[in-house]
Amino acid sequence: MPGRLIIHEKWVTNEGDLVEIKVWTVDKSGSFPEGVKYSMVFVHEGQRVLCFDNERGKGPHEHYFGRETPFEFKDLQHLLNKFEKSVEIVRSELYGNAR
């Protein structure tokens, strides 16, 4: 699955958590029908607590505090917005409103 990395953002939040977004364009296939591969992760105290990815053979799915749930991929911008909102929800759950 050689692809071309089109987005790679990585930062540390004020609380010290890691957020990383990687998106590649890939050849369309049964595993990647949209021609995009992605991994978006939020790491708290060294543990992945939130991740959106489309691992080969699994399709689009979300990891949320150890639970894995499939979701429908609409388009990349929608997914980026959904991840951003989910990060804010996780941060609120971890730290409350005081950020």
pLDDT of 99 > 70? The answer is: no
Q: How far apart are CA 44 and CA 27, in angstroms?
A: 33
Evaluate if pTM is beyond 0.85. Answer: yes
Give the bridge partners for 37, in sequence order: 24
Q: Which two tokens stand for residue 5?
A: 């990395």
Tell me the pLDDT band of 56, cut-offs 50, 70 and 90: confident
